[in-house]
Amino acid sequence: MKIVFLGPPGAGKGTQAVRLCGEKGIAHLSTGDMLREAVRVGTEVGLKAKSYMDSGALVPDDVVIRIIEETLSRLGWEKSFLFDGFPRTVAQAEALGEMLKTRGAGLDHVVYLETSAGVAVERLSGRQTCRKCGANFHEKNMPPKRAGACDHCGGELYQRDDDRPESIRNRLQVYEAQTADLIRYYADKGLLRRVSGDLPAGDVYAEVQQVLGF
- Has 13 been annotated as catalytic? yes
Min CB(213)–ligand AMP separation in Å: 26
Residue 66: closest CA among 40, 48, 42, 81: 48
Q: Reply yes or no on whether 19 is catalytic.
A: no
Pick between residue 16 and residue 92 the one whose CB is nearest to ligand AMP.
92
C-beta of 64 vs 72, nearer to ligand AMP:
64
| 8 A C-beta contact, residue 19 and residue 124 | no
Residue nearest to ligand AMP (CB): 32
Give the residue, chosen from 21, 29, 38, 53, that forms a contact with ligand AMP under the rule CB under 6 A.
53
Return d(Cα 71, Cα 29) in angstroms, integer: 9
Residue 79 is a catalytic residue: no
Our CA angle for 130, 60, 127, nearest 5°, is 25
11 near ligand AMP, judged by CB under 6 A: no
- Among 13, 36, 123, 193, the active-site one is 13
171 classed as catalytic: yes
Closer residue to ligand AMP (CB): 74 or 145: 74
The dihedral through the CA atoms of 69, 73, 79, 84 has a sign that is negative
Site residues for ligand AMP, 150-189, by CB under 6 A, read 162, 171
Task: Return the closest-CA partner of residue 31 out of 62, 99, 42.
Answer: 62
Whether 131 is a known active-site residue: answer no
32 binds ligand AMP (CB under 6 A): yes
Please report, for residues 14, 98, 99, 158, the alpha-carbon distance to residue 70 in angstroms, rounded to integers and kept in the order given: 21, 14, 11, 29
Query: Between the CA of residue 35 and those of 47, 50, 86, 130, 150, what are the distances in Å?
Result: 10, 8, 12, 15, 21
For binding to ligand AMP (CB under 6 A), which residues are involved? 9, 31-32, 35, 52-53, 56-59, 64, 85-88, 92, 162, 171
| Residues with catalytic function | 13, 88, 127, 160, 171
